[in-house]
Homo-oligomer: A and B are copies of this chain.
Amino acid sequence: MENRIQELRKAQNWSQAEFATRLGVSRQTVNALERGRYDPSLPLAFKISTILAQPIEGIFIYDPS
């Protein structure tokens, strides 16, 4: 699943570390999410959604195939 985390994080002028702190996760987790290494848990997706002020569907692009 692709996501717009990096794009939306940069729009706020936040480093990965800064964003990680706001989310309450490690910097490595933010890095892994941006690089598409894995998808966040649903609760974390909601936190990301809240902090980036976008609906989940506006951040994560689900490709059924």
Residues in chain A within 8 A of chain B (CB atoms):
1, 39-43, 45-47, 50, 55-57, 60, 62, 64
A60 closest partner in B (C-beta): B42
Number of copies: 2
Once bound together, how far apart are the Cα atoms of A13 and B50, in whole Å? 33
Point out the residue from B1, B55, B60 that lies within 8 Å of A55, measured CB to CB.
B55
Once bound together, how far apart are the Cα atoms of A30 and B39, in whole Å? 20
Could you show 21 A-B contacts with beta carbons less than 8 Å apart? A1-B42, A1-B43, A1-B46, A39-B41, A39-B42, A39-B43, A40-B42, A41-B41, A41-B42, A42-B42, A42-B45, A42-B60, A43-B62, A45-B45, A46-B60, A46-B62, A50-B64, A55-B55, A55-B56, A55-B57, A56-B57
